[in-house]
Chains A and B, each alone.
Chain A
């Protein structure tokens, strides 16, 4: 009897405890102590707090100097033919010799990555003067670096991994620049006289790209072509009058990237290929439908795109970006009057040719570029691939030859590669192996030497974040 009583009590106690535990288990929230990571915890501001009326072209200063006009030009980003290959017959050194690089002049610049354009003995660089708070297009004499004139405007730029980062576009009559905060300025080339200005961010409701504008402007048949993003995808503006000639609609709301517009002739059409934030498009560059979208794709859509598309004669278009994006090879085809686009390859940076800032060079059927830091064991190496399979390295420069994010180009059948710290390497272009000819430090205490280089008449212009250097490479 007692045993039965004890058993009953035990069953009741166990049942009560069990029920209580089930209730506790059902009511207990194991995530009660979790905190939610929701948007807005950083208390981000409403946007750009800098609001100012910029009088584009207001500043002008000149010096009376004499210079000799030279025949050579490097008139824009990626040179005359947009391929980063100089076709100049001027013979260049392949070794610096026992005396080292023949440095002709150096010039202190505002912190940034804006490269030079060269036109008939003059160097043009869009600098930011931190003291005066002004974007200044500086016109320098190629041979001695002395300043002929400067034209610009007051604008507030805060340091953000450098301030300036674009290269002017120049033809015989005009110069077009884009400043860090999307201010377009058009001048007469020889006199520096102001023609017109455009505040793209204000006119087109554009979000200024991270770390400021990286897009280099284009002049095509005296028309300034600017990829605006925002209210339009691209616009063509008369350099002579400043009048808008055509405008490409932007129904998808793509934004401006750091990439630049690349002209491309394919299938009997001339087009402007542009990689925006949101996608990539080919815009009719001539004819009655100028400004019309010939093709577009959103298959390539990354938050930061700095390199420009590399367009190849067979219709292949190679596009790459940093920050983990990798690269994509596309095939453009013409079907009747329409264009179509196929993705041939797409991969992360550790699986093939990809670049973070610089645009690869297409030379003799091969692509050359420097891999980003997130490319695994080949990080920062200079590599060569066949466009038919960009995931297979034809060769790489090896673990002892890494170049950071620096620029590279070809002149006189030599590759010139500048690393982050200002060491210039000369290699022999080859689709079979890496052949280094010489190497020398050309920027003392160099840092962040990322601006594209320019060469004309044997004078090589390069810069790190604060100093521009001219090297005489003539044989």
Chain B
């Protein structure tokens, strides 16, 4: 008959085993938490140089209105009176009348500075990310108007619904520490 180990009973084994399991679990949870705290987050963003202004950002985002908005790189803008991003092509008049505006939601405000310069400011709340202005600006101007995913409005879905449909693969994950791919050297808050 085998003798029982008087120094290490079954009870001790179970007790120590439970302690070790708890320690491992605690360590794992702590490690994961620490990793979350220190590991860099990734977010979705549009590369404005790849964007072909297809208009899907306005309709495919799970947010309504879309988290994609137009940004204006003021240092690239020509401040033109005849602005291809503000006015419909071949407009009757260069005025702020609704029939001359390209933006379907009147999200672009046009301000006279001095002859011959006009400034264009985007109202982010009105912008639906349709890219009509971006297309006009890219086709006829310097390309200062461009689309970006506004991170404060984005749900950062695992699978971005507009990235999935983007025909030019312009949307990808970028580091959370540099969440924007803004054209030019500066832009203004809307």
A 300-346 contacts with B by CB, 8 A: 302-304, 322-325
Could you mark each residue 37-62 of chain A with 1 if its beta carbon is under 8 Å from any beta carbon of chain B, else 0?
A: 11111111101111000000000000
Contact B82 A37 (CB under 8 A): no
Contact B96 A324 (CB under 8 A): no
Give Cα A303 to B118, complex, Å.
Answer: 18
The answer, among A36, A38, A373, for a CB contact under 8 Å with B139, is A373
Chain-A contact segment, one of B35-43, B85-93, B181-189: B85-93
A 262-298 contacts with B by CB, 8 A: none
Known: A40-B96, A48-B115, A325-B90. A210 touches B78 (CB 8 A): no
Which residues of A lie under 8 Å from residue B111 when comparing CB positions?
Answer: 42-43
The answer, among A41, A45, A161, A325, for a CB contact under 8 Å with B115, is A45
Interface flag for B112 (CB, 8 Å): yes
Interface flag for A372 (CB, 8 Å): yes
Which residues of A lie under 8 Å from residue B109 when comparing CB positions?
Answer: 41
Give Cα A210 to B80, complex, Å.
Answer: 8
Give Cα A44 to B82, complex, Å.
Answer: 13
The answer, among A35, A36, A50, A322, for a CB contact under 8 Å with B140, is A322
Which residues of B lie under 8 Å from residue A49 when comparing CB positions?
Answer: 114-115
Contact B114 A45 (CB under 8 A): yes
Which residues of B lie under 8 Å from residue A302 when comparing CB positions?
Answer: 90
Interface flag for B97 (CB, 8 Å): yes
Distance in Å: Cβ of A407 to nearest Cβ of chain B: 19
Interface flag for A160 (CB, 8 Å): yes
Interface flag for B95 (CB, 8 Å): yes
Which residues of B lie under 8 Å from residue A356 when comparing CB positions?
Answer: 140
Give Cα A322 to B140, complex, Å.
Answer: 8
Contact A39 B96 (CB under 8 A): yes
Give Cα A421 to B122, complex, Å.
Answer: 30
Contact B116 A38 (CB under 8 A): no
Distance in Å: Cβ of B72 to nearest Cβ of chain A: 16
The answer, among B82, B96, B114, for a CB contact under 8 Å with A38, is B96
Interface flag for B155 (CB, 8 Å): no
Contact A38 B112 (CB under 8 A): no
Distance in Å: Cβ of A327 to nearest Cβ of chain B: 13
> Which residue of A35, A302, A324 has the most chain B CB atoms within 10 A of its CB atom?
A324
Contact A325 B89 (CB under 8 A): yes
Interface flag for A104 (CB, 8 Å): no
Known: A42-B96, A49-B114. A323 touches B138 (CB 8 A): no
Interface flag for B48 (CB, 8 Å): no
Distance in Å: Cβ of A305 to nearest Cβ of chain B: 11
Task: Give the A-binding residues of B (Cβ under 8 A).
Answer: 78, 80-82, 84, 89-91, 93-98, 101, 106, 109-112, 114-118, 135, 138-140
27 intermolecular pairs with C-beta atoms under 8 Å apart: A37-B106, A39-B95, A39-B97, A41-B96, A42-B95, A42-B110, A42-B112, A43-B111, A47-B115, A48-B116, A158-B115, A160-B78, A160-B80, A160-B116, A161-B78, A161-B80, A303-B94, A304-B82, A323-B84, A324-B89, A324-B90, A324-B139, A372-B139, A374-B89, A374-B135, A374-B139, A374-B140
Beyond known contacts A42-B95, A302-B90: 7 more, CB 8 A cutoff: A38-B97, A41-B110, A42-B111, A161-B78, A323-B82, A323-B84, A374-B139
Task: Give the B-binding residues of A (Cβ under 8 A).
Answer: 35-45, 47-50, 158, 160-161, 210-211, 302-304, 322-325, 356, 372-374
